[in-house]
Structure 1
């Protein structure tokens, strides 16, 4: 992205709410992945600033291990089932996903989209990949790109 591009502001310390429509395994996976994020990005304990609106995570796209453009395409499909005010949690390991998803959200803000998208969380984490290290692979560390995309009202 060029320096002249508008900046998407990443807001921190939102209270989180996992939708009841998520399966137990999805909820468990989301909690494990969110635990990788630094505490100042998401604060899910009782000290959370309750004056900020809760992020209601309605669905998750797990784009780990798949290359672009698939994480973005899966994100677009999943957003069809996300209502205004709800969020989609996306994780990916392909570095191109970060630029693609940022541009997609930014484009929704610049066009006359009926439901602009707010990129609430955009954070990369590095985690040890235990399975890869057990196999003595040279790829023992993965960068995971985390996104929480909230569908907003155009009014």
Structure 2
């Protein structure tokens, strides 16, 4: 696919590039979910040097799924991710944060070829003051996992 069809988004100290092999629906979902994440203001001179580039090749939408499904779907999706590529995972089950964090940490301590770096681990909460949610899921757990070389 040509690079022109790839979408680039700047969020949480990273320039995030969405792969052209993601469907249009996935790219739209990811773009709207990334909008929920906080941005960091940068001096225009520092943007190029302060941001790392993430190439998102896969997406796991675990919203509404109970533990351990978001983690299991993440493990399956990581099979299609190669070194240097990232997987974007969203979940609404609070246990997902501990599960996915521990899974990535465990990969770094094992002798396996897959070394997973948890680049983004953010929680967004969009409940209003009266307790009603403006969205279907008020609390969303965001993860961007990058597969890196273990050497």
TM-score, reference length from structure 2: 0.81
> Whose strand fraction is larger, Structure 1's or Structure 2's?
2
Alpha-carbon offset, residue 115 of structure 1: 1.7
1:72-93 deviation digits (Å, cap 9, x = unpaired): 0000000000010000000000
For 2:93 and 2:123, locate their aligned partners in 1 and report how far apart those are by CA, in whole Å. Answer: 11
Counterpart contact for 2:14–2:54, Cα < 8 Å: yes
Q: Secondary structure at the match of 1:149?
A: strand
The 1:143–1:131 alpha-carbon spacing in structure 2 relative to 1, beyond 3 Å, is closer
Counterpart contact for 1:57–1:86, Cα < 8 Å: yes
The 1:108–1:126 alpha-carbon spacing in structure 2 relative to 1, beyond 3 Å, is same
Alpha-carbon offset, residue 50 of structure 1: 2.5
Counterpart contact for 1:92–1:144, Cα < 8 Å: yes
Aligned alpha-carbon RMSD (Å) = 1.9
> Number of aligned pairs?
132
TM-score, reference length from structure 1: 0.79
| 5+ long unaligned stretches in structure 2 | 1-11, 128-132
Q: Secondary structure at the match of 1:50?
A: helix
